[in-house]
């Protein structure tokens, strides 16, 4: 294998690893935001203030990395997930599940990955 081919192969592998790492970091942030949304909604315990701060921090990071529209999709997903977990009755559940699937796709993940 020529040196130029080897360099190209190494560059492609590095890009692949960086992309996977950044996707894992992004997924971790999204999960943290979704979890914090639930904590804030429940409104009790010492964790609420910390969850509110986490949400602010994650919002700023997501907007910087992905833009306002991406953050809005995350925020909607989080609120729908919290609503489904705590408040939705059988008549709402199907519609909310459709929303979760749609917005998870916009975020680039599955519902199972995000929750």
Q: pLDDT tens across 80-112, in order?
A: 999 999 999 888 899 999 999 999 999 999 999
pLDDT tens, residue by residue, 24-81 = 889 999 999 999 999 999 987 778 999 999 999 999 999 999 999 999 999 999 999 9
Which phi-psi region, left, alpha or beta, contains residue 4 (left: φ > 0; alpha: ψ -120 to 50)? alpha
Q: How far apart are CA 16 and CA 25, in angstroms?
A: 14
Task: Kindly report the pTM of this predicted structure.
Answer: 0.79
């Amino acid at each position: 294998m020529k040196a130029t081919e080897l360099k190209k192969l190494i560059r492609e592998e590095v890009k692949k690893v960086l992309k996977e790492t950044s996707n894992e970091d992004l997924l971790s942030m999204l999960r943290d935001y979704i979890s914090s949304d639930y904590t804030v909604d429940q409104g009790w315990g010492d964790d609420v203030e910390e969850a509110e701060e986490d949400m602010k921090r994650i919002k700023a990071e997501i907007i910087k990395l992905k833009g306002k529209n991406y953050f809005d999709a995350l925020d909607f997903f989080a609120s729908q997930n919290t609503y489904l977990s705590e408040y939705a009755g059988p008549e709402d559940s199907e519609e909310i599940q459709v929303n979760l699937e749609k917005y998870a796709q916009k975020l680039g993940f599955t519902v199972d990955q995000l929750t």
